[in-house]
């Protein structure tokens, strides 16, 4: 029987632990640093994601068979290189391969070089040159900080004035610190977004069922961009052709391109895609499971997660299978998120909810579960139709009482409108 260590502390990691826990091959799931809400499926280990010495010692002492990393920061920092050097089995991209997410300039240049469809763009390290170029572009225009910025580094400017202000903030006033030293300025694409996640090893790409995130904070896609306010899967209104096109033109070519560049990719590759009038285009790549898409995709995945990863690591073919249910999840977030928010409101009703992943909860002195994160809970509904999954999810949301949480009411509506 195997022991697995999951790294991270959000809803995504809770779902990953939940899925590993279901494996008949796994007898113990650990999570570092985790959050108290994950105690149902994992043993919480008090080691930070960037404490590599601590993690190495823990893996050796506890004979961990597989390490799985949730978030992008340790991956871009090279955790896979560091742990594998110690002979620890870990599934994820190396530091060089993680540049696909860690540097938008790298990702865009790769797409250009290997003819992978994406928005037209230029990259800049010089403010004056960037400004000159910006003045020639039509609005809306998209400005992206090169480096990691916790999902906040993308500005969609509706006017030239807004674009120029943003550029100055990013390049001259260090709005995103060093992440904004270089920028990508790209054309604004119109269309419908979807997420295609795949297990990848070198040129083998195993695509998962499509999912859709809801990036904006409020109903009708209003408000600021967030880490994601809800997700559902499958996406039946997008044709199988769309999936095939994204696999053949985006995911597989990028896996091949990474080999060509001498930094083959192993791990979860996330294609942020958009179906435009001109075919499927790439919005971005991430090098890990998306949060919150993972929380619904892993529920639909019928394969044993541990077996699947072991097969992929050992170059055995796998066939991914997904069940026929619909899964829809609603994020409950602290008022103020994605800006500043108060922590500590007591959450009641969790025992009455069918299934919930903890994104940002803690325990107070009296043993109450409290809301500590920006995003706090991910409440899941399951059904034999999208409509039923939505009804179940919101029926569960209503069972939660907390004075400081808000949520969107329209998760899944794009799918319902197109059914």
Ligand X SMILES: Nc1ncnc2c1ncn2[C@@H]1O[C@H](COP(=O)(O)OP(=O)(O)OP(=O)(O)O)[C@@H](O)[C@H]1O
Residues in contact with Mg ion by the rule CB under 5 A: 284, 286
How many helices and strands (H and E) does the chain possess? 14, 24
Q: Which residue is nearest to ligand X (CB)?
A: 151
Residue 301, C-beta contacts closer than 8 angstroms, at least 6 positions apart: 19, 208, 209, 320, 321, 322
Pick one of ligand X, Mg ion, none as the site partner of residue 90 (Cβ within 5 to 8 A by kind).
none
Beta strands in 191-348 (DSSP E): 192-201, 204-207, 212-213, 216-218, 222-225, 230-233, 266-276, 279-286, 326-334, 345-346
Closest approach, Cβ 186 to ligand X, in A, equals: 5
338 binds, among Mg ion, ligand X, none (CB under 5 to 8 A by kind): none
At which residue do the structure tokens 């990013």 appear?
Answer: 170
* CB atoms inside a 10 Å sphere around CB 57: 13
DSSP 364-384: -TTS-EEE-SSEEEEEEEEES
3-state SS class at 288? coil
Structure tokens at 284: 């971005």
Residue 225: Cβ-neighbour burial (10 angstroms; 0-12, 13-18, 19+): middle
Indicate the residue among 74 and 381 with the shorter CB distance to Mg ion. 74
CB of 218 to ligand X, least distance (A): 15
Q: Which residues pair with 382 in a beta bridge?
A: 327
Say which entry of ligand X, Mg ion, none residue 330 contacts (CB below 5 to 8 A, set by partner kind): none
Q: Which does 153 bind (CB under 5 to 8 A by kind): Mg ion, ligand X, none?
A: ligand X
Among left, alpha and beta (phi > 0; psi -120 to 50; other), residue 287 is alpha
Which of the choices Mg ion, ligand X, none does residue 215 contact, using the CB cut-off of 5 to 8 A by kind? ligand X
Smallest separation, CB 156 to ligand X (Å)? 6
Question: Toward ligand X, which CB reaches closer, 74 or 362?
Answer: 74
| Cα 233 to Cα 393: distance, rounded to the nearest angstrom | 13
CB of 92 to ligand X, least distance (A): 16
- Dist CA 50 CA 36 (whole Å): 19
Name which of 45 and 154 has its Cβ closer to ligand X: 154
What is the closest distance, in whole angstroms, from the C-beta atom of residue 82 to ligand X in the complex?
Answer: 23
Instruction: Pick between residue 98 and residue 142 the one whose CB is nearest to ligand X.
Output: 142
Closer by beta carbon to ligand X, 73 or else 313: 73
SS3 353: coil
Dihedral (CA of 129, 131, 136, 140) sign = positive
Binding site for ligand X (CB under 6 A): 119, 142, 144, 151, 153-154, 156, 186, 188-189, 193, 215, 225, 272, 283-284, 286
Which residues does residue 378 pair with via DSSP β-bridges, in sequence order? Answer: 331, 357
Q: How far apart are CA 144 and CA 110, in angstroms?
A: 16
Query: Closer to ligand X at the Cβ: 271 or 362?
Result: 271
* Cβ 49 to Mg ion shortest distance, Å: 18
**Nearer CB in complex with ligand X: 197/376:** 197
Q: Which is nearer to ligand X, 65 or 284 (by Cβ)? A: 284
Min dist CB 296 to ligand X, Å, is 16
Task: Establish whether the linkage from the previous residue to 338 is cis, with ω within 30° of 0.
Answer: yes
Cβ 107 to ligand X, closest distance in Å? Answer: 9
Closest CB to Mg ion among 13 and 284? 284
CB of 6 to Mg ion, least distance (A): 20
């Amino acid at each position: 029987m195997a022991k697995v260590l999951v790294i991270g502390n959000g809803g995504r990691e809770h779902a990953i632990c939940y899925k590993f826990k279901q494996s008949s091959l796994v007898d113990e799931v650990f999570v570092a640093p985790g959050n108290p809400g994950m105690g149902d499926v994992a043993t919480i280990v008090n080691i930070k994601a960037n404490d590599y010495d601590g993690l190495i010692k823990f893996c050796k002492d506890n004979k961990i068979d597989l390490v799985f990393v949730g978030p992008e920061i340790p991956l871009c920092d090279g955790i896979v290189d560091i742990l594998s050097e110690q002979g620890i089995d870990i599934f994820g991209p190396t530091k060089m391969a993680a540049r696909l997410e860690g540097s938008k300039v790298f990702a865009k240049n790769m797409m250009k070089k290997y003819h992978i469809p994406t928005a037209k763009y230029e990259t800049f390290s010089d403010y004056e040159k960037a400004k000159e170029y910006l003045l020639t572009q039509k609005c809306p225009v998209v400005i992206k900080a090169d480096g990691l910025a916790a999902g906040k580094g993308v500005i969609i400017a509706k006017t030239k004035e807004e674009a120029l202000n943003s550029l100055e903030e990013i390049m001259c006033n260090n709005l995103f610190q060093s992440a904004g030293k270089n920028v990508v300025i790209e054309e604004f694409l119109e269309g419908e977004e979807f997420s295609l996640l795949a297990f990848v090893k070198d040129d083998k790409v195993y695509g998962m069922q499509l999912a859709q995130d809801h990036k904006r904070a409020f109903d009708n896609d209003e408000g600021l961009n967030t880490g994601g306010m809800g997700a559902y899967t499958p996406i039946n209104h997008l044709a199988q052709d769309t999936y095939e096109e994204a696999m053949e033109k985006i995911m597989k070519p990028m896996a091949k391109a990474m080999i060509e560049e001498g930094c083959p990719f192993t791990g979860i590759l996330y294609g942020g895609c958009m179906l435009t009038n001109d075919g499927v285009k790439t919005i971005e790549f991430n090098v890990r499971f998306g949060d919150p898409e993972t929380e619904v995709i892993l529920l639909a995945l019928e394969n044993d997660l541990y077996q699947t990863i072991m097969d992929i690591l050992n170059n055995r073919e796998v066939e991914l299978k997904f069940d026929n249910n619909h899964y829809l999840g609603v994020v409950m977030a602290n008022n103020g998120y994605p800006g500043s928010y108060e922590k500590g409101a007591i959450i009641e009703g969790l025992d009455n909810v069918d299934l919930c992943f903890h994104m940002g909860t803690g325990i107070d002195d009296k043993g109450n579960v409290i809301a500590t994160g920006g995003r706090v809970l991910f409440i899941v509904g399951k059904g034999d139709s999208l409509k039923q999954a939505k009804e179940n999810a919101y029926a569960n949301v209503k069972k939660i009482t907390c004075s400081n949480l808000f949520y969107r009411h329209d998760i899944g509506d794009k799918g319902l409108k197109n059914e």
